[in-house]
A = this chain, B = another copy of it.
Amino acid sequence: MKIALAQFNPIVGDLPGNARRTLDMVLDAAAEGAELVVFPELSIVGYSPHDLLDNSHFIDVVEAAIRHIHERLPIGVGVIIGAPVRNPNPIGKKLLNAAVLLEKGQVARITAKMLLPTYDVYDEYRYFEPAPSQEVVEFHGLRLGVHICEDMWNIEEYSTYHMYDRNPVAELVDQGVDLLVNLSASPYAHDRHGVRSGIIETLCRRHSIPFLLVNQVGANTELVFDGDSRVHAADGTMLACAPSFEEALLIWDSTSSEPCPLPKRERVADLHRALVLGIREYVDKTGAFDSVLIGLSGGIDSAVTAALAVDALGPERVTGITMPSAYSSSGSVSDSEQLADNLGIVCHTVPIKPAVEAFGDILTPLFEGTKEGIAEENIQARSRGLVLMAVANKFGQMVLTTGNKSEMAMGYATLYGDMSGGLAVLADVFKMDVYALAEHINALSGTDRIPRSSIDKPPSAELRPDQKDEDSLPPYPVLDTVLKLYIEERLDVDAICSKTGYDADFVRGLLNAVDRNEYKRKQAPPALRVSIKGFGSGRRMPIVARIDRNTMDQMMRELRVEPHHD
């Protein structure tokens, strides 16, 4: 049987559009002889629809969209779509996260998700009741073990947050299955491709059953989906794989056991593609902006952001702007002009000195006799933010912010200043990875598309004379190591010191700075999430809180409490 893997790119909430494009893909698949077409999890609404699911009218429209597809299907083709469906049980959450098998003239058959991720960026138990069980679906003589995303992840070595007490895949296999079919909406992160392969190979070998996974592709606000849809044979060998980071229709003949070449996935190259896709999708799917505007400082973050934007949208939809002040180095303008030249983008220059001076003047009566400090530095950063927003508002552009994850962690950024914008491109990319991206971008083009001087100069905010990041922050290789252990691996001072050998007071100071700056991140624009733990909806920290590690440590020492080992 020919089975089509519809690696679909839905727009969240666009039920009529998603229904129409679902039908288009079904017709294309049918034309290629497919008997079954499999779509990703929640394909009809896009992942995640969030609280749209709380609106009963929206679910009415979902039902209409499913009927719309159902009534228009070609004869002889089965289609499995992902959709929220109403829970038939009046007890429990109102919805199920379902796979719906549609065939022309037949009643829809529903399988619902049993394991509902409710951690990190996932809120599924907010909306869905876990299905009490799943039944094998027989389709044209093939016994399909249809299940949804997390249902396949209950494997000890891949469990991060917790283990579940049910194992849907094993339960399906017990019923007798010819092919395991997983509908996913599993976002990209650095290591996800390898983890998916590891899990699927484990399951294939454990059960001696082939496995087909169809994942969403595209990006919705912070989440980027790489697709990575594939088929593995009963022995785990990969038989087919869709191209990553793009919509695709992959036809697989279930009689074939020919291995496919393994997809080449490289960490920095993937990161580049993920960010490019994230920018393009935000602009195209909102449809609210023609182009993007980026404040160019001459530094590496804004240069990399601009290059990514050009790769996403083309040079004609990207504009740069340099906004020198009294403290800007000569390089800040010349490096930016060089960058704009390399990228082929328009670059404006708007010196902010007159505005900064005007604020100085009108604030003189109030500020007289005070010492220059953060307030004055922020006036510069915010004057730049204001100019960016004014230009963007005037010409219908969206501002991309350029701050990286290391800075966002430490609060080394000005709220309403350089944090102004609609999308934060690098806010989930540590500074050392920004360097790696710059080298990758230059290697791809074979030239110094990112000017060498922007890569080599010591990072600086240029808000006071001779300011350097390293006056306020530790060297980035050290900083990034500590931040990664705290944020992504969720370790605290003692564990980080054991791993790194760094001094406890030093590490504690960094962790305290991360905690203290939660209020800034609360107001940050959405950031493209490319790690296993980004700032944003995946990391929900209290703002009004008191985390005093010194008194905590003291209490622990007095009681001689030993740390728990998970």
Contacts and interface: CB of A to CB of B under 8 A. Distances in A.
Nearest to A48: B542
Interface in A45-78: 46, 48-52, 54-61, 63-65, 67-68, 71
Contacts of A48: 542
Given A49-B542, A91-B164, A492 B68 contact: no
A52 B389 CA distance: 35
A357 interface: yes
A366 B379 contact: no
Interface in A350-365: 350-352, 354-355, 357-359, 361-363
Contacts of A537: 540
Contacts of A355: 355, 358-359, 362
Contact of A363 (B358, B361, B391): B391
A90 B16 CA distance: 44
Interface in A523-560: 523-526, 537, 539-548, 551-552, 554-556, 558-559
Interface residues on A, range: 35 or more
Contact of A15 (B415, B522, B552): B552
Nearest to A323: B362
B561 A64 contact: yes
Q: How many copies does the complex hold?
A: 2
A361 B355 CA distance: 9
A541 B125 contact: no
A387 B374 contact: no
Given A11-B546, A555-B61, A416 B420 contact: yes
Contacts of A558: 68
A159 to B, nearest CB: 10
Nearest to A361: B354
A390 B379 contact: yes
A448 interface: no
A484 interface: no
A320 B367 CA distance: 16
B68 A545 contact: no
A416 to B, nearest CB: 4
Given A358-B358, A519-B422, A548-B14, A490 B55 contact: yes
A363 B390 contact: yes
Contacts of A286: 543-544
B387 A363 contact: yes
A165 B390 contact: no
A478 interface: no
Contacts of A126: 118-119, 123, 540
Given A13-B547, A57-B491, A58-B492, 20 more contacts: A15-B555, A50-B542, A54-B161, A54-B490, A57-B492, A57-B493, A57-B494, A68-B559, A71-B559, A90-B163, A93-B161, A94-B162, A125-B125, A285-B544, A351-B362, A355-B362, A357-B358, A375-B390, A382-B389, A415-B420
14 contacts: A14-B548, A16-B548, A54-B490, A57-B563, A92-B163, A92-B164, A118-B125, A123-B540, A220-B542, A359-B390, A362-B387, A378-B393, A382-B390, A522-B525
